[in-house]
Structure 1
Protein backbone atom coordinates (compact mmCIF):
# COMPACT_ATOMS: atom_id res chain seq x y z
CA UNK A 1 0.00 0.00 0.00
CA UNK A 2 2.95 2.29 0.54
CA UNK A 3 3.97 1.98 -3.10
CA UNK A 4 0.39 2.71 -4.20
CA UNK A 5 0.30 5.89 -2.12
CA UNK A 6 3.68 6.95 -3.49
CA UNK A 7 2.57 6.47 -7.10
CA UNK A 8 -0.73 8.19 -6.27
CA UNK A 9 1.21 11.16 -4.88
CA UNK A 10 3.44 11.37 -7.98
CA UNK A 11 0.38 11.35 -10.25
CA UNK A 12 -1.23 14.03 -8.09
CA UNK A 13 1.93 16.16 -8.30
CA UNK A 14 1.98 15.96 -12.08
CA UNK A 15 -1.73 16.83 -12.17
CA UNK A 16 -1.06 19.76 -9.82
CA UNK A 17 1.57 21.19 -12.17
CA UNK A 18 -0.90 20.98 -15.06
CA UNK A 19 -3.62 22.62 -12.94
CA UNK A 20 -1.33 25.58 -12.24
CA UNK A 21 -1.61 26.60 -15.91
CA UNK A 22 -4.10 29.46 -16.38
CA UNK A 23 -7.55 28.31 -17.56
CA UNK A 24 -6.87 24.81 -16.24
CA UNK A 25 -7.43 25.72 -12.58
CA UNK A 26 -10.75 23.87 -12.61
CA UNK A 27 -8.66 20.72 -12.33
CA UNK A 28 -7.99 21.62 -8.70
CA UNK A 29 -11.61 20.80 -7.86
CA UNK A 30 -10.92 17.20 -8.88
CA UNK A 31 -7.36 17.19 -7.57
CA UNK A 32 -8.21 17.87 -3.94
CA UNK A 33 -10.40 14.75 -3.44
CA UNK A 34 -7.93 12.69 -5.51
CA UNK A 35 -5.03 13.71 -3.25
CA UNK A 36 -7.17 13.22 -0.13
CA UNK A 37 -7.81 9.61 -1.13
CA UNK A 38 -4.06 9.18 -1.66
CA UNK A 39 -3.39 10.60 1.80
CA UNK A 40 -5.90 8.18 3.33
CA UNK A 41 -4.21 5.26 1.55
CA UNK A 42 -0.84 6.47 2.88
CA UNK A 43 -2.18 6.77 6.42
CA UNK A 44 -3.58 3.25 6.24
CA UNK A 45 -0.27 1.97 4.90
CA UNK A 46 1.58 3.64 7.76
CA UNK A 47 -0.78 2.07 10.28
CA UNK A 48 -0.50 -1.42 8.80
CA UNK A 49 3.28 -1.65 8.27
CA UNK A 50 6.21 -1.71 10.65
CA UNK A 51 7.82 1.64 11.39
CA UNK A 52 11.09 0.76 9.67
CA UNK A 53 9.29 -0.20 6.43
CA UNK A 54 6.87 2.70 5.94
CA UNK A 55 9.14 5.17 4.12
CA UNK A 56 7.12 4.96 0.91
CA UNK A 57 3.91 5.61 2.80
CA UNK A 58 5.44 8.63 4.56
CA UNK A 59 6.60 10.02 1.22
CA UNK A 60 3.17 9.41 -0.32
CA UNK A 61 1.51 11.19 2.59
CA UNK A 62 3.90 14.12 2.25
CA UNK A 63 3.37 14.42 -1.52
CA UNK A 64 -0.41 14.25 -1.21
CA UNK A 65 -0.38 16.77 1.63
CA UNK A 66 1.67 19.23 -0.42
CA UNK A 67 -0.70 18.80 -3.36
CA UNK A 68 -3.74 19.49 -1.19
CA UNK A 69 -2.21 22.66 0.28
CA UNK A 70 -1.11 24.01 -3.12
CA UNK A 71 -4.46 23.17 -4.75
CA UNK A 72 -6.44 24.92 -2.00
CA UNK A 73 -4.13 27.95 -2.18
CA UNK A 74 -4.52 28.06 -5.98
CA UNK A 75 -8.30 27.95 -5.66
CA UNK A 76 -8.22 30.75 -3.07
CA UNK A 77 -6.05 32.94 -5.31
CA UNK A 78 -8.21 32.30 -8.34
CA UNK A 79 -11.49 32.97 -6.55
CA UNK A 80 -12.62 29.33 -6.60
CA UNK A 81 -12.99 29.26 -2.81
CA UNK A 82 -14.31 32.39 -1.17
Structure 2
Protein backbone atom coordinates (compact mmCIF):
# COMPACT_ATOMS: atom_id res chain seq x y z
CA UNK A 1 0.00 0.00 0.00
CA UNK A 2 2.83 2.39 0.82
CA UNK A 3 4.33 1.66 -2.60
CA UNK A 4 1.14 2.71 -4.41
CA UNK A 5 0.90 5.90 -2.33
CA UNK A 6 4.57 6.61 -3.02
CA UNK A 7 4.07 6.18 -6.77
CA UNK A 8 1.03 8.48 -6.69
CA UNK A 9 3.02 11.11 -4.79
CA UNK A 10 5.84 10.69 -7.31
CA UNK A 11 3.49 11.21 -10.23
CA UNK A 12 2.04 14.27 -8.51
CA UNK A 13 5.56 15.65 -8.01
CA UNK A 14 6.37 14.90 -11.64
CA UNK A 15 3.33 16.86 -12.84
CA UNK A 16 4.21 19.75 -10.52
CA UNK A 17 7.82 19.57 -11.73
CA UNK A 18 6.91 20.23 -15.35
CA UNK A 19 6.12 23.92 -14.80
CA UNK A 20 9.41 24.85 -13.04
CA UNK A 21 11.29 23.22 -15.91
CA UNK A 22 10.62 26.38 -17.93
CA UNK A 23 13.29 29.09 -17.78
CA UNK A 24 13.13 31.51 -14.83
CA UNK A 25 10.74 29.28 -12.90
CA UNK A 26 13.23 26.81 -11.41
CA UNK A 27 12.67 28.27 -7.94
CA UNK A 28 9.49 26.20 -7.97
CA UNK A 29 11.60 23.10 -7.35
CA UNK A 30 12.02 24.30 -3.75
CA UNK A 31 8.35 23.35 -3.33
CA UNK A 32 8.41 20.17 -5.42
CA UNK A 33 11.50 18.48 -3.95
CA UNK A 34 10.01 18.13 -0.42
CA UNK A 35 6.96 16.43 -1.92
CA UNK A 36 9.24 13.89 -3.62
CA UNK A 37 11.14 13.42 -0.34
CA UNK A 38 7.88 12.48 1.40
CA UNK A 39 7.15 10.05 -1.42
CA UNK A 40 10.61 8.51 -1.10
CA UNK A 41 10.11 8.12 2.65
CA UNK A 42 6.81 6.33 2.15
CA UNK A 43 8.40 4.19 -0.55
CA UNK A 44 11.15 3.19 1.87
CA UNK A 45 8.51 1.81 4.23
CA UNK A 46 7.15 -0.62 1.63
CA UNK A 47 8.52 -3.97 0.54
CA UNK A 48 8.76 -2.99 -3.10
CA UNK A 49 11.09 -0.26 -4.23
CA UNK A 50 9.46 1.14 -7.39
CA UNK A 51 7.91 4.12 -5.63
CA UNK A 52 11.08 4.87 -3.72
CA UNK A 53 13.18 4.69 -6.88
CA UNK A 54 10.78 6.94 -8.81
CA UNK A 55 10.94 9.60 -6.13
CA UNK A 56 14.72 9.35 -5.78
CA UNK A 57 15.14 9.83 -9.54
CA UNK A 58 12.82 12.83 -9.41
CA UNK A 59 14.77 14.32 -6.49
CA UNK A 60 18.06 13.96 -8.38
CA UNK A 61 16.66 15.45 -11.61
CA UNK A 62 14.99 18.35 -9.81
CA UNK A 63 18.08 19.05 -7.69
CA UNK A 64 20.32 19.11 -10.76
CA UNK A 65 17.96 21.50 -12.51
CA UNK A 66 17.79 23.67 -9.41
CA UNK A 67 21.57 23.77 -9.07
CA UNK A 68 22.00 24.70 -12.75
CA UNK A 69 20.06 27.86 -12.02
CA UNK A 70 22.07 28.64 -8.92
CA UNK A 71 19.21 27.65 -6.66
CA UNK A 72 17.08 30.62 -7.58
CA UNK A 73 16.43 30.78 -11.32
TM-score, L = length of structure 1: 0.77
Identify the structure with the greater helix proportion: 1
Q: 3-state SS of the aligned residue for 2:43? A: helix
Q: Which residue of 1 aligns with 2:38?
A: 37
Q: Which runs of 5+ in 1 are unaligned?
A: 47-53
Return the match for 1:63 from 35, 54, 65.
54
Partner Cα distance (2:50, 2:39) in 1: 11
What root-mean-square deviation, in Å, do the aligned CA atoms of Structure 1 and Structure 2 show? 1.4
Bigger Cα Rg: 1
Partner Cα distance (1:62, 1:18) in 2: 22
Aligned residues: 71
Q: Which residue of 1 aligns with 2:20?
A: 19
TM-score, L = length of structure 2: 0.85
Q: 3-state SS of the aligned residue for 1:70? A: helix
Runs of 4+ aligned residues of structure 1 deviating over 4 Å after TM superposition are: none
